[in-house]
Amino acid sequence: MSEFSLDGKLAVITGGASGIGKAIAHKFASKGANVCVLEINKGAAQETVDEIIGAGGRASAHQCNVANQDEVIAVIDSISGGDGIDILVNNAGIAHIGNIEATSGDDLDRLYQVNIKGVYNCMSASLKHMKAAGGVILNMASIASSVGISDRFAYSMTKGAVLTMTYSVAKDYIDAGIRCNSISPARIHTPFVDGFIAKNYPGQEEEIFEKLSKTQPIGRMGKPEEVANLALYLCSNEAAFITGTDFPIDGGFIKLNG
């Protein structure tokens, strides 16, 4: 086997149709994994799958609302088919901008359902398919899990929970040969960022993009492919000695700001 090979691995990636999730899906498929893309929008998932298959990889699209536990269990059980799941990447998530006064109870519930319960649902449904032969769980946390970010009250709350869920699962399932880690990105240049800027700062796109880029000490936003490279390492056999750890990929944000 070549380094970082995922040959023969079955990998489930939530939110795998855009941004970071899409980059991870492509990266894993290019390394031999059979990638299952879970998305609430199956059409978007199928587009990613078609791209992967067109490049010679293996992939399938699965419609799934990660906030719905029954739906998650049915999809995960179907994917496993009794043969187990090797890798779960919990990437699906939603955002909210606002401090506590600008966060309604409905806002809080909406983020909880996807960013916390969704991660719980997918881990809970997948663990039983990993116990026999071991596996890897990788959760997408955030720099907001570890440091205060202005106007991200609800988002920070949910990502802090992702971080501590990661630690808990890593400890509880280490004897089953299941590794669980998380990645904490800073601002990554995805279509979501471009859409956010265009919607909220029409006519100032270049100026705002530059301003947001410079919030990272390294002077730019990260690329989805850079996060995918880290995800590949953590889910490969080369990272077999790593569990219960969070990996910032933040251009120096956590340690060098302030």
Active site residues: 155
Find out whether 181 and 236 touch, Cβ atoms under 8 Å: no
| pLDDT of 258 | 58
pLDDT digit string (tens) for the chain, length 258 residues: 689 999 999 999 999 999 999 999 999 999 999 999 999 999 999 999 999 999 999 999 999 999 999 999 999 999 999 899 999 999 999 999 999 999 999 999 999 999 999 999 999 999 999 999 999 999 999 999 999 999 999 999 999 999 999 999 999 999 999 999 999 999 999 988 998 899 889 999 999 999 999 999 999 999 999 999 999 999 999 999 999 999 999 999 999 985
Calpha distance 62→243 (Å, rounded): 28
Q: Is-above-0.85 flag for pTM?
A: yes
Distant-in-sequence, close-in-space partners of 227: CB < 8 Å, separation ≥ 6: 20, 23, 24, 183, 185, 188, 249
| pLDDT of 192 | 85
Look up tokens 């906030």; give the residue.
67
Look up tokens 């490279």; give the residue.
229
| pLDDT of 35 | 98
Calpha distance 115→140 (Å, rounded): 9
49: alpha, beta or left? (left if phi > 0; alpha if psi -120 to 50): alpha
DSSP conformation class of 144: G
Find out whether 184 and 150 touch, Cβ atoms under 8 Å: no
Look up tokens 């029954």; give the residue.
70
| pLDDT of 1 | 65
Amino acid found at 19: G
| pLDDT of 213 | 94
DSSP conformation class of 236: S
Calpha distance 250→221 (Å, rounded): 8
- The alpha carbon of 72 is separated from its chain's Cα centroid by a whole number of angstroms, namely 16
| pLDDT of 13 | 98
| pLDDT of 44 | 96
pLDDT per residue as tens digits for the range 129-174: 999 999 999 999 999 999 999 999 999 999 999 999 999 999 999 9
| pLDDT of 196 | 83
Alpha helices in 59-149 (DSSP H): 69-80, 105-111, 117-127
Element (H, E) at 1: none
Q: Which residue spans within the chain are E strands per DSSP?
A: 10-14, 34-39, 58-63, 87-90, 135-140, 178-185, 246-249
Alpha helices in the chain (DSSP H): 19-30, 42-54, 69-80, 105-111, 117-127, 153-172, 191-200, 205-213, 224-235, 253-256
Strand order in the sheet with 246-249: 58-63, 34-39, 10-14, 87-90, 135-140, 178-185, 246-249
Amino acid found at 196: F
